[in-house]
Amino acid sequence: MPPKYHLITYGCQMNKNDSERISGLLRGLGFESTSEKNQADFILINTCSVRQSAENRVYGHMSDFAKMKKKRPGLIVGITGCMPGRDRNLEFKKKMPIVDLYFPTSQIGQLPRWIAELRPELVNSFDIVEDYTKIMPYRETTRQAYVSIQTGCNKFCSYCVVPFARGLEKNRSVSDILSEIHSLVAQGCVEVTLLGQTVNSYRAPDPENFTKSNPYQDSFAALLWEVGQISEIKRLHFTAPHPIHMTDEVIDAMALPTHVNFLHLPVQSGDDEILRKMNRRYTSSQFLDVIERLRSRLPNIVIGTDIMVGFSGESEEAFEKTVELYKNVRFDIAYIAQYSVRSGTAASRAFKDDVLPEEKKRRWEVLQALMEKIVFEKNEKFVGQTVSVLVDRYESGFCYGNSREMKLVRFLGNTECAGQIVDVRIDRADIWLLEGSLLHDSTTS
C-alpha cells in the first residue's frame, strides 16, 4: 500500500498553487493524498502569516498532532509556507516542538531528502529539486488553473510580511510559464489566472522568448499577449497587481479578447499620509488616475480592491478620505481588513497601533455596508443581460460559476454543464449572487 499524505493549506491563491506543487512532488515520490489525517504518514501545513488569526490556526493543530504521534511515532509532521519563511529566530518553531520538518516555501524541493532521512521506506527517490517553481503542480481540476509567474516581493509595504516570508521578487522565465500553460491546455484547461505578489511588475528574464510579432515592450503586457495567442485558453486574468505598474501597455493588453472583464487592484487607503506610512508608493490621486485610464480603455471593467482600516495613526479624517475614494470609484467588491501588527515589519517597529479595536470594527462596518449597497446596485444592472459563465460545480440541481466579470452566477442545469462555458440570462440579482436561466445551445468548450 502506498504511503499517504494529508495537506492543509491556508492563505492566498499563491499558497494554493504552492500546495499543488507540493502534491505534484509527493505523488512523484509515490505518495497518495488522503483527506483523513489519521490515515496519513506525512501531514504538512502550508501556512499563511498575513494575519495573526492565520498563525493561531496552525498552533491550534498541534495538540491533535501530538496525540496522533503518540499513537503512531512514525508520523511525520511538517510546516512550510510563510510562517517558517519569516521565522528568523525560530520563535514560532519553539511553540511547536512536535514538528519534524520546518522550512520556507523556497525549500519545497528538499522534501525527498528530508523524508528519506526520517523514513526512507516512504519515498522512491531521494532526488531534490533546486528550483521549486519547476515542479509540475498536481491540480484537482483541469478546466481552471493558477499559474505563478513570480515569487517574492520587492515593495516592502510597511505592514506586510511577504518580502520576509517569501524573499525578494524572482520572475519565472517566459519559456517555463508558456510551457506550463501549454501542458494545462493538453489537459483541457480553458481558464488561467497568472499569480504574483505584484504580478504586473513581472520582468521576463528571457525576453528573447517573446514572439517577434509581440507588440508590447512591457514584459507583463507582452506575457498577456502571448497567453492570449493560445486559442484553447478562453479566459485569462491575473492577481494581484500593484497600481504603480499599471502601465498603458498593460491596460491595452487587458482589452485583448481572452482577458476577463475584471481587475482586482488594491488601494489600501484613500489618505495620502496613511499611504506614505504604508510605503505604498502612490498617492490617492495617482490611484484615481489609474482608474481613469482603465475605464477610458475598458469602459465596462469591473474593479475590486483591498482596503485596510485602523492602520497606525489613521484619524477619523483619514478614514473619511478612504470612504470618499470608495464612493468615487464605486468598486464592485472590496476585501476590507482591520489592521493587525505583524512582528518583523517596518510598521511594527516604527508606529504605534493606536486605533482602538472597537473603532477598527466600526470603520470596517461602515465600508462593508457601503460596499454591499454599491455591489447590489451594480448587480441589478445585470438583470436582463446575458453573461458568459464558466461552470465550476453542480449541486442539487443548480450549476454555479463565474461570469467574465467574476460575478458568481447560479442557474438550473445538469452535470453535463460542469466545466463548460455557457450563456446565462440574468433574471434576479442579489449582493453576492446573480441568478439566471441557461440559454440552450450556448455551450462551448
The answer to whether position 72 is within a domain reads: yes
Confidence of residue 198 (pLDDT cuts 50, 70, 90): very high
Q: Give the pLDDT confidence score for residue 343 in this predicted structure.
A: 87
Select from 71, 106, 133 the last residue of a domain: 133
Q: Give the pLDDT confidence score for residue 443 in this predicted structure.
A: 61
Q: Give the pLDDT confidence score for residue 140 in this predicted structure.
A: 87
296 phi, psi to nearest 5 deg: -70, -40
Let me know whether 211 and 349 are in one domain.
yes
Question: Cα–Cα–Cα angle for 286, 291, 297, nearest 5°?
Answer: 125
Confidence of residue 49 (pLDDT cuts 50, 70, 90): confident
Residue 228's domain comprises 134-379
Q: Which residue, among 315, 305, 326, has the nearest Cα to 359 in the 3D structure? A: 315
Q: Give the pLDDT confidence score for residue 442 in this predicted structure.
A: 60
| Distance from C-alpha of 175 to C-alpha of 180, rounded to nearest angstrom | 9
| Distance from C-alpha of 413 to C-alpha of 436, rounded to nearest angstrom | 11
pLDDT digits (tens, 9 = 90+) for 242-271: 999 999 999 999 999 999 999 999 999 999
Confidence of residue 54 (pLDDT cuts 50, 70, 90): confident
Whether the pLDDT of residue 159 is over 60: the answer is yes
- Per-residue pLDDT, averaged over 63-69, amounts to 95
Select from 117, 133, 149 the last residue of a domain: 133
Whether the pLDDT of residue 4 is over 70: the answer is yes
Let me know whether 24 and 165 are in one domain.
no
Are residues 57 and 11 in contact, defined by beta-carbon separation less than 8 angstroms? no
Let me know whether 352 and 296 are in one domain.
yes
pLDDT, the chain, mean: 96
pLDDT digits (tens, 9 = 90+) for 304-317: 999 999 999 999 99
Let me know whether 243 and 331 are in one domain.
yes
Higher local confidence (pLDDT), 343 or 203: 203
Let me know whether 144 and 125 are in one domain.
no
Are residues 87 and 81 in contact, defined by beta-carbon separation less than 8 angstroms? no
Select from 99, 116, 133 the last residue of a domain: 133
Let me know whether 359 and 391 are in one domain.
no
What's the total number of domains in the chain?
Answer: 3
Task: Specify the pTM.
Answer: 0.93
Q: Give the pLDDT confidence score for residue 334 in this predicted structure.
A: 97
- Per-residue pLDDT, averaged over 201-230, amounts to 98
Q: Which residue, among 336, 252, 337, 335, has the nearest Cα to 301 in the 3D structure? A: 252
Q: Give the pLDDT confidence score for residue 53 in this predicted structure.
A: 85
